């Protein structure tokens, strides 16, 4: 029996079968607004080539990982500058619904007061 791999990014986003709104792009990396966002700002950053995950780069080299992280940093800096906060995550194993390395760059929408109440004033 052949295992079917769930890869929304290769099968739909990169294949052009679903409309995406590009945020940033290089020859090997694409950042776009999530097609089904969970947050007020929800951007996904992916390599254009299939890379299974952060811990399994498949046939990709470290150079591609560095390029992906560079785009993640650029996008996250823009979200942080515009909204004052940002969260960046990538999922692994059973948490990784689509088996293609992807990074979520989000602004969850809390006010500054809500954030400080939840996380405190650790810089003070």
Sheet with 87-90, strands from edge to edge, namely: 22-25, 29-33, 41-47, 103-107, 87-90
Residue 124 resides in a domain: no
pTM of the model: 0.87
Residue 3 resides in a domain: no
Residue 93, Ramachandran bin (φ over 0: left; ψ between -120 and 50: alpha; else beta): left
Residue 17 or residue 64, greater confidence: 64
- What CATH number is associated with residue 104? 3.30.428.10
Pull the structure tokens for residue 30: 């694409």
Pull the structure tokens for residue 55: 């811990």
Residue 95 resides in a domain: yes
Residue 51 resides in a domain: yes
Print the domain residue range for 81. 8-119
Q: Is the pLDDT of residue 122 over 80?
A: no
pLDDT digits (tens, 9 = 90+) for 36-90: 999 999 999 999 999 999 999 999 999 999 999 999 999 999 999 999 999 999 9
Residue 2 resides in a domain: no
Q: How many domains is the chain partitioned into structurally? A: 1
């Amino acid at each position: 029996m052949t295992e079917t791999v769930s890869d929304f990014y290769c099968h739909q986003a990169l294949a052009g079968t679903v409309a995406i709104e590009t945020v940033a792009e290089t020859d090997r990396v694409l950042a776009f607004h999530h097609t089904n966002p969970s947050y007020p700002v929800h951007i996904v950053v992916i390599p254009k080539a299939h890379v299974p995950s952060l811990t399994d780069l498949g046939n990709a080299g470290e150079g591609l990982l560095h390029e992906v992280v560079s785009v993640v940093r650029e996008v996250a800096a823009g979200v942080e500058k515009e909204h004052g906060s940002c969260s960046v995550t990538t999922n692994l194993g059973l948490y990784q619904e689509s088996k293609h390395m992807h990074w979520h760059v989000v602004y969850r929408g809390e006010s500054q007061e809500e954030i400080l109440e939840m996380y405190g004033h650790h810089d003070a």
